[in-house]
Amino acid sequence: MSRAARFAGRHVLVTGSTGMAASAARAIAAEGGAVFAVSRTEAHLRALADEVRAAGGQCAWHAADLRREEEVDAAFAAFHAHFGRLDAVYGVAGVSGRRLGDGPVHEASLEGWDAVIAANATSQFLVARAAVRRMLAHRPDAHGQRGALLLMSSALATHPAPAFFATHAYAASKGAIDGLTRALAAYYAAEGIRVNAIAPALVATPMSRRAQDDPAIVAYLGEKQPLADGPIDADAVTATALHLLSDDARMVTGQIVAVDGGWGVSEPRSTPRRA
């Protein structure tokens, strides 16, 4: 199958409607897939669907708060009513946390901790649970598989950067996703369900606007992410995500794949002091 048709006849649910989620939705549709986008913001969902359709692709949407069990289940029911078989899920939606009260643990509030864990970890658990329940009901495809699930981790789960990114609840939430990914992959491999996670470093998205507007952070990223020489373009993350969601990666499960521009192996020449 040509790369342009990797998702032909396949139905993919993507959580989120801007940044990396929007990039993935556009790319999946361009490769023949039918996209179902889920996020809290109707205006963003509508704009994304209109853009994908204008380019000749398929995109439906459903607004939901992914922290809420009943809304996640309703979103998956809406997907089923619209498309039927669920072939893949890309769980992108999440928050950065600082505006919610996240920060160094001695400064962070319990409310901030709870909010970040709910938005980043609980939401991924609820999405994964709903996806697996649907996929278990599928008949295996020609490769003996029932579906693929890709969760969203972060370079900060394993490679902290205390000078500029001391958001400890955020790091913990992404570490939880790493553990969940491996546990799900181990349990459901025999059922033909693949589960992986992608771990970007700092990507140029609306969520990272604060960092992108800080000259000191931009200078830091130039050395910390040398392959990008600054923030990573969302489409570069999408390229890896689509591989993991497609049959090209049908023998890959239980992996946390870093797309970090060199973050994990690079050290700036002069380590900045904590902000």
In this structure, the strands spanning 58-63 and 34-39 are: parallel
Each residue of 121-165: pLDDT tens digit? 999 999 999 999 999 999 999 999 999 999 999 999 999 999 899
Tell me, what's the pLDDT at 269? Answer: 81
Average confidence (pLDDT) over 259-264: 96
DSSP single-letter state for residue 204: S
For residues 184 and 168, the answer to whether their CB atoms sit within 8 Å is: no
Average pLDDT of every residue of the chain: 93
Which domains are seen in the chain, by residue range? Answer: 3-262 (3.40.50.720)
CB 243 within 8 A of CB 249: yes
* Residue 107, pLDDT score: 94
170 in active site: yes
Q: How confident is the model at residue 218 (pLDDT cuts 50, 70, 90)?
A: confident
Question: Residue range 33-45: average pLDDT?
Answer: 97
Measure the N-to-C terminal CA separation of the chain; round to a whole number of Å: 50
Residue 4: what pLDDT? Answer: 67
Taking the C-alpha atoms of 117, 119, 125 and 128 in order, what is their torsion angle to the nearest 10 degrees? -150
For residue 158, give the nearest of 200, 100, 121 by alpha carbon. 200
Q: Which of 90, 170, 188, 220 is catalytic?
A: 170
pLDDT grade for 208, boundaries at 50, 70 and 90: low
* pTM for the predicted model, two decimal places: 0.94
Condensed to tens digits (0 to 9), the pLDDT of residues 178-205 reads 999 999 999 999 999 999 999 999 998 7
Report pLDDT digits (tens) over 85-111: 999 999 999 998 888 889 999 999 999
